[in-house]
């Protein structure tokens, strides 16, 4: 394996791993489509940050897009609650509109900034090795993207490890969370914020739309294979990494987009897990029960 | 952009302007009409997935035939869209994965496959690949007569199909059990509806692209829903909104041919949606906010009149002066709120303010008596007719007393044989 391939695969794997960590909670909390919405909605944030700073400086982009991601989820909630619009439509209307605004901005700024529609759709992971950070002494520290995506991966890992208990309880039983004094809204928006950050960081590698594949498919694959949250997180990261490696070689084989190939490999793994799990446990078996969920089931029976 | 060029557009003076405008308007109408059902069945995001899934279908169709024939693309996209529906259905039914994740997976994996194939076609240097790009974000400016013929025909087919089947669709959308019981072929109808959705999506992506197609389905329907409760009116309105959005897109395409059309059509549609959300009568946010304010003001006023009346009952001297803090203490509300209510009541002539307090006017006393009577009648009704314990009826009466009409009051009196006292042994004050 040559060095370029190594950097590309490493970037893809880190991006997929970061997505899988937060994506697992999206899948568990039935928020998969909110993840889809956020990944579309950060586009205008990225476009504006590009335009204002004239560069791809990661920090303003992360902050701007993180804020817009949270704003989008607030808008979805407001349309749903104050506007009396059903949830699916409020998600659909919000993200298509924000995405449309993003594409318009990019078309308007075309030429002024180094960002185009292709990048929006499937990223530019093949160019990752070209943009290298060098020290004052001229020693190469590796591609910039590896550092950005790596930092977000570590941040997500820290987030999940430090707040594992809270995230778990909030995901499985919001009533129990409330009785323990854990704020559902706080953790909801914390998760939304982390998803936005991750989306932006992964944006350059896999593009705004295929981030969704990395957020949801590996997490859903893991969800099919295990009933335990910790194992699910580990498996989802493994499945994401496998998608990155497999995607690189599939793309090389077909001479196509690496990001597209990553999504295809992730989908293949999901199909395989689906075949295995439906043979093992029978149709539509809701086997994922943690202690809080058992408590809540018992609670419902008592009512 | 000169004035005469703009006039060219608005007067549809050139042939190619006519083609583009006709195309986008027809697309807007067809997808908005069928979108109403996707919206009402809470399946808006399924349309999104079908749209994304159409991309690999278009790519494969191109790879197999090597032509840009719109009819061939249509078939490819329809097959892929169909497969995506089948895949979503299978995932939800055969595993513990729920609908949201199933939609997300199918959407992104199909789309990824489409991107993979598309980039392969691009790199293989196929001369015609430029024609495929417009499927991503739409490029109305590149619509040609053949496109408009095909898409116009499909849109027309959708509208006619909806006109013929809309009663049946309505029944299975709102109550599928009932549809079963009257012997409608529910599965067949759902198949027809799904096929129409796929067709609308496949047609619409030409104008707005796969990424934003969902908006063509949902946004006009959601906007129309704010204006009406009737399905037929909703479909008509949504079609008009879709047509306006499509027309705006054609305008942008004309003014800036290199600009992707889809985002502008979606932005125009969202603008219509936002106006509807705010300004629609009855269901709009402004109308609802005003109504809520009016209701809460009426409730506050009636509660204070009732309190003044009951203070008069308990302490004697119905028209004696009482202070705002008397009222506040009796109702357990903040004094500022009591003062606000008293101020409102003075303006409408139900109370008068004297040096150190407030007193009921004759009209105020009548109103206070009416609300007290309704409250107590309702308590009697709940204890006698609904068999609820007397200590559980107060809260319900607190809210119903503000909405009972005089007709209902008469019926209650007749039903309960004009009772003299409530379950707490307080007299019911009649006229």
Over its C-alpha atoms, chain B yields an Rg (Å, rounded) of 31
B103/A99 touch (CB, cutoff 8 Å), yes or no = no
pLDDT cut 90: percent of chain A above it = 33
Q: What is the pLDDT of residue A1?
A: 62
In order of their start, the domains of chain A are 3-213 (1.10.3470.10)
Q: A266: which chain B residues are within 8 Å (Cβ-Cβ)?
A: 109, 112
pLDDT per position as a tens digit, B164-200: 988 888 888 888 788 888 888 888 888 888 888 888 8
* CA nearest to A289 within chain B: B96
In order of their start, the domains of chain B are 3-283 (1.10.3470.10), 290-431 (1.10.10.10)
Is residue B128 within 8 Å of B68, Cβ to Cβ?
yes
pLDDT cut 70: percent of chain B above it = 97
To the nearest whole number, what is the mean pLDDT of chain A?
83
Residue A263 predicted with pLDDT over 60: yes
To the nearest whole number, what is the mean pLDDT of chain B?
86
Distance of residue A71 Cα from the nearest chain B Cα, in angstroms: 17
Cα–Cα distance between B205 and B139 in angstroms, integer? 9
Task: Give how far Cα A59 sits from Cα of A12, A46, B214, Å.
Answer: 20, 11, 32
Q: Which tops the pLDDT comparison, A173 or B370?
A: B370
Q: Give the B window 11-40 contacts with A, CB below 8 Å.
A: 39
pLDDT per position as a tens digit, B364-399: 999 999 999 999 999 999 998 888 888 888 888 888
Contact with chain B for residue A5, Cβ under 8 A: no
Q: What is the mean pLDDT of residues B74-86?
A: 89
Residue among A87, A107, A283 minimizing CB distance to B259: A107
Which of A180, A190, A184 minimizes the C-alpha distance to A73?
A190
Q: What is the pLDDT of residue A282?
A: 47
Residue among A93, A216, A286 minimizing CB distance to B218: A93
Contact with chain A for residue B222, Cβ under 8 A: yes
Q: Which tops the pLDDT comparison, A303 or B358?
A: B358
Cα–Cα distance between A219 and A239 in angstroms, integer? 8
pLDDT cut 90: percent of chain B above it = 28
Residue among B42, B119, B211 minimizing CB distance to A256: B119
Task: Give how far Cα B193 sits from Cα of A92, B85, B162, B171, B206, Å.
Answer: 20, 12, 9, 12, 21
Q: B286: which chain A residues are within 8 Å (Cβ-Cβ)?
A: none
A92/B45 touch (CB, cutoff 8 Å), yes or no = yes
What 3-state class would DSSP assign to B188?
helix
Interface ipTM > 0.90: no
Residue among B107, B119, B277 minimizing CB distance to A83: B277
**Residue of A12, A15, A20, A89 to mutate, interface with B, max B Cβ within 10 Å:** A89
A220/B116 touch (CB, cutoff 8 Å), yes or no = no
A256/B111 touch (CB, cutoff 8 Å), yes or no = no
Residue among A40, A93, A99 minimizing CB distance to B222: A93
B262/A36 touch (CB, cutoff 8 Å), yes or no = no
Q: How far apart are the first and last CA of chain A?
A: 61
């Amino acid at each position: 394996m040559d060095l370029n391939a190594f950097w590309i695969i490493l970037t893809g794997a880190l991006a997929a791993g970061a997505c899988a960590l937060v994506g697992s909670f999206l899948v568990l909390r039935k928020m998969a489509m909110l993840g889809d919405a956020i990944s579309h909605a950060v586009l205008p944030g990225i476009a504006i940050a590009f335009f204002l700073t004239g560069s791809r400086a990661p920090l303003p982009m992360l902050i701007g897009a993180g804020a817009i991601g949270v704003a989008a989820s607030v808008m979805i909630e407001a349309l749903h609650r104050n506007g009396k619009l059903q949830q699916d439509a409020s998600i659909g209307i919000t993200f298509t509109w924000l995405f449309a605004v993003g594409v318009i901005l990019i078309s308007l700024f075309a030429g002024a900034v180094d960002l185009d529609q292709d990048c929006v759709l499937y990223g530019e992971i093949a160019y990752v090795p070209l943009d290298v950070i060098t020290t004052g002494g001229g020693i190469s520290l590796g591609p910039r993207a590896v550092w950005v995506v790596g930092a977000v991966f570590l941040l997500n890992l820290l987030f999940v490890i430090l707040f594992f208990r809270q995230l778990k309880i909030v995901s499985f039983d919001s009533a129990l969370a409330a009785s323990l004094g854990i704020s559902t809204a706080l953790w909801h928006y914390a998760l939304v914020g982390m998803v936005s950050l991750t989306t932006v960081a992964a944006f350059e590698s896999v593009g705004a739309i295929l981030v969704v594949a990395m957020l949801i498919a590996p997490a859903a694959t893991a969800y099919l294979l295990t009933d335990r949250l910790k194992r699910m997180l580990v498996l989802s990261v493994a499945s994401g990494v496998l998608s990155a490696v497999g995607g690189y070689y599939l793309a090389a084989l077909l001479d196509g987009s690496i990001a597209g190939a990553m999504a295809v490999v992730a989908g293949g793994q999901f199909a395989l897990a689906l075949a295995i799990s439906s043979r093992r446990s029978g149709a539509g078996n809701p086997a994922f029960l943690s202690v809080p969920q058992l408590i809540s089931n018992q609670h419902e029976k008592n009512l | 952009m000169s004035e005469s060029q703009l006039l060219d557009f608005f007067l549809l003076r050139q042939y190619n302007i006519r083609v583009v405008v006709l195309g986008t308007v027809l697309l807007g109408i067809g997808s908005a009409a069928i979108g109403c059902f996707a919206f009402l069945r809470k399946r808006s995001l399924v349309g999104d997935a079908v749209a994304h899934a159409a991309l690999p279908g278009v790519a494969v169709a191109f790879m197999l035939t090597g032509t840009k024939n719109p009819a061939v693309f249509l078939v490819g996209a329809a097959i892929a869209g169909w497969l995506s529906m089948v895949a979503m259905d299978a995932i939800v039914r055969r595993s513990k994965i729920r609908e949201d994740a199933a939609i997300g997976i199918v959407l992104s994996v199909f789309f990824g496959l489409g991107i993979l194939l598309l980039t392969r076609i691009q790199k293989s240097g196929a001369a015609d690949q430029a024609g495929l790009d417009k499927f991503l974000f739409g490029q109305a400016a590149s619509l040609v007569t053949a496109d408009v013929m095909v898409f116009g025909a499909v849109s027309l087919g959708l509208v006619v199909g909806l006109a013929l089947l809309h009663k049946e669709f309505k029944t299975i959308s709102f109550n599928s059990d009932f549809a079963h019981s009257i012997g409608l072929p529910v599965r067949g109808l759902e198949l027809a509806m799904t096929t129409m959705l796929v067709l609308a999506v496949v047609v619409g992506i030409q104008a707005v692209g796969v990424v934003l197609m969902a908006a063509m389905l949902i946004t006009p329907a959601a906007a129309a829903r704010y204006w009406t409760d009737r399905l037929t009116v909703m479909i008509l309105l949504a079609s008009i909104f879709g047509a306006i959005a499509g027309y705006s897109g054609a305008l942008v395409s004309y003014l800036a041919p290199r600009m992707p059309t889809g985002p502008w059509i979606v932005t125009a549609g969202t603008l219509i949606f936002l106006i509807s959300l705010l300004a629609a009568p009855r269901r709009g946010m402004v109308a609802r906010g005003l109504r809520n304010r009016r209701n809460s003001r009426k409730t506050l006023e009636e509660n204070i009149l009732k309190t003044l009346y009951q203070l008069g009952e308990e302490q004697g001297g119905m028209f004696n002066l009482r202070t705002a803090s008397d009222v506040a203490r009796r109702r357990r509300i903040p004094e500022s709120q009591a003062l606000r209510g008293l101020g409102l009541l003075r303006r409408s002539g139900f109370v008068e303010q004297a040096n150190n307090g407030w007193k009921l006017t004759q009209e105020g006393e009548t109103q206070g008596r009416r609300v007290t009577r309704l409250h107590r009648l309702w308590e009697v009704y709940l204890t006698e007719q609904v068999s609820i314990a007397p200590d559980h009826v107060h809260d319900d009466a607190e809210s119903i007393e503000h909405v009972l009409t005089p007709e209902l009051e008469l019926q209650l009196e007749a039903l309960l044989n004009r009772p003299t006292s409530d379950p707490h042994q307080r007299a019911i004050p009649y006229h």
